[in-house]
Chains A and B, each alone.
Chain A
């Protein structure tokens, strides 16, 4: 399979890394300053931070297992940004303070909304044991 962190993946790792740091920083500041103000939003900030960290790590490590975990992480990320994004418009009382995913990541140039789609697209290109192009030379691969 292709290296997860080369080519377009290299850019992706960097951007995921930036968001991992941004989301971690945000949740630490929020939880440290006033954890009781918006427990739901702050928990989600922390979840987002963990998801970005996991995705970054898996892309860096590469390999079949990392690929699988990355798919799960990106899927949770996609569901998270869609659900939180929608809820932050519909049920404003639930989110007295913002998270990375509020309003579909408006505070971050909507990148949090775009990122999981790009991530999943890249993981689709690099999926292990794909037919044809990504099969490494000299190995025989057969689907069982």
Chain B
């Protein structure tokens, strides 16, 4: 799913700008993170359907646990960040978005059948 990666990288760039300018995240960034979260939900549905239809050697449990696990990063990161509206709080959002990118890349590998 390229959409997740593109949106996450856009979010990461936005967060990087905020960090440099020492500003806290505003509504637009949180809206973007919400959009990513919705796309991740769609990904869970599509991924599960595709998994049930594929003939490839994909580890089902692992794949679904990644599909579900990736959903948790942004909400937890957002709440953990909002508890402290400082540069550190913004950096937490960056860490959360980065986690999404890392997990998404892993998902690709698992889907290709090389994951373990």
Interface residues of A (CB under 8 A from B): 6-11, 13-15, 17-18, 21, 25, 29, 97, 109
Contact = CB atoms under 8 A, between A and B. Distances in A.
Q: Main SS of the interface on chain A?
A: helix
Contacts, number: 39
Interface of B: 61-62, 65, 69, 73, 76-77, 80-81, 83-84, 86, 88-89, 91-92, 95-96, 99, 102, 116
Contacts of A9: 88
A4 to B, nearest CB: 13
Contacts of B65: 25, 29
A14 B73 CA distance: 10
A14 B84 contact: no
A135 B69 CA distance: 40
Given A7-B86, A7-B88, A97-B116, A14 B69 contact: no
Contacts of A8: 88
A18 B89 contact: no
Contact of A14 (B86, B95, B102, B116): B95
Contact of A25 (B69, B83, B102): B69
Given A7-B88, A10-B91, 6 more contacts: A10-B88, A11-B88, A11-B92, A18-B95, A18-B99, A29-B62
